[in-house]
Amino acid sequence: MVNAGILGMGQAYPSGILTNADLERLVDTNDEWITTRTGIKQRHKAADNEYTSQFGTRAALQALERAGLKPEDIDIIVCATTTPDQIMPSTGALIQAQIGAINAAGMDVFAACSGFIYGITMVESMIRTGQIKYALVIGAEVLTKYVDYTDRGTCVIFGDGAGAAVLGPVPEGKGILATKIKSDGRYEEQLYAPGGGTKLGTTHATIENRDHFFKMKGNELFKVAVRSMADISAEMLEKAGYSVDDVDLVIPHQANQRITDAVASRLGVPDEKVYSNIAEMGNTSSASIPIAMDECIQSGKIKEGSLVLLTAFGGGVTWGGTVIRF
């Protein structure tokens, strides 16, 4: 059996920017509160005519180019998104058409902010067992179209963007060494968008209640997020046969700087080994880890031989952890 590893990465995001000062004009908030409570200074925001698959496509094409592969080499496209272009077809299938990956199967994974780790966990075993050779895993979100800009508790956090990874066979000792995904649907109402589905449908009442927008119990989610990410990180490091001291870089889902800091301190990892871009990007859900990974590869923070720990947590609730040797 072969190992599955990352062969190339890419990212894309809208040029539009929403600053904390912009948000001060929309809701009762201020730059000082947002900065100290979340670490966020700005986030990217799609224009009305921009949508999820466009960013996923741009990120995917960049990842393919860096992997030295063509769209037709790809066997499966897994698009992690909670903000699809439309309910059907899947955004994965739409991206397949946009990049011309004629030999692939395109699909979506709905696992909120943990979606990228869900995607790489799924394709890792398909590559390892030889069922497929090359996979594209994309985290793509236009969250700002699902954000209620009358709710200061959620609207200050989320931003838009996409990150993509091409995965394929790598030599022994490299690639994904341990990965695991988990969920607990009992926490459904901590982060959810109840409207628009088969339960409530789309009615005048759901629209008046703003049920199509994200609703979040941020404070409760905070504690579960820290515990879940720290625990699964420790478990994956142990499974891979490493300790926290062996890790070169931790890339957590960029949910909130205070969550990142709390996970790092629970794990006992020094701040300089923990990557953060939340000040510029905000929380881009499933896109946050692949965007951050791409930045680290481009800047040389991740290099040949680096041992990298990924961990995510999101609505569902869902969480996951992955240890990768580059």
Q: Which residues contribute to the site for ligand UT7 (CB under 6 A)?
A: 29, 33-34, 37-38, 113, 152-153, 156-157, 191, 218-219, 221-222, 225, 255-256, 259, 283, 313-314
Catalytic residue among 113, 155, 256, 296: 113
DSSP notation for 72-132: GG-SEEEEE-SS-SSSSS-HHHHHHHHHT-TT-EEEEE--GGGHHHHHHHHHHHHHHTTS-
Q: Looking at the DSSP assignment, which residues form a beta bridge with residue 176?
A: 324
Residue with tokens 């119990």: 217
Q: Which residue's CB is nearer to ligand UT7, number 8 or number 119?
A: 119
C-beta separation of 127 from 150 below 8 A: no
For residue 260, give every residue at least 6 positions away whose Cβ sits within 8 Å of its Cβ, in sequence order, or none: 39, 252, 254, 274, 276, 278
- d(Cα 299, Cα 91) in Å, to the nearest integer? 29
C-beta separation of 116 from 183 below 8 A: no
Question: Is 283 labeled as catalytic in the residue annotation?
Answer: yes
C-beta separation of 4 from 122 below 8 A: no
Q: Which residue's CB is nearer to ligand UT7, number 221 or number 264?
A: 221
- d(Cα 70, Cα 8) in Å, to the nearest integer? 12
From the CB of 215, what's the least distance to ligand UT7, in Å?
A: 12
Question: Is 155 labeled as catalytic in the residue annotation?
Answer: no
From the CB of 1, what's the least distance to ligand UT7, in Å?
A: 34
From the CB of 137, what's the least distance to ligand UT7, in Å?
A: 18
Q: What are phi and psi of 290, to 5 degrees?
A: -65, -30
- d(Cα 147, Cα 144) in Å, to the nearest integer? 5
- d(Cα 43, Cα 152) in Å, to the nearest integer? 15
From the CB of 261, what's the least distance to ligand UT7, in Å?
A: 12
Q: Which residue's CB is nearer to ligand UT7, number 57 or number 311?
A: 311
Q: Which residue's CB is nearer to ligand UT7, number 40 or number 127?
A: 40
> Which pair of structure tokens corresponds to residue 16?
């539009």
From the CB of 152, what's the least distance to ligand UT7, in Å?
A: 4
The residue with its CB nearest to ligand UT7 is 218
Question: Is 212 labeled as catalytic in the residue annotation?
Answer: no
Catalytic residue among 20, 44, 283, 296: 283
Secondary structure (3-state) at 216: strand
Q: Which residue's CB is nearer to ligand UT7, number 96 or number 283?
A: 283
Catalytic residue among 79, 253, 256, 296: 253
Q: Which residue's CB is nearer to ligand UT7, number 57 or number 286?
A: 286
Active-site positions read 113, 253, 283
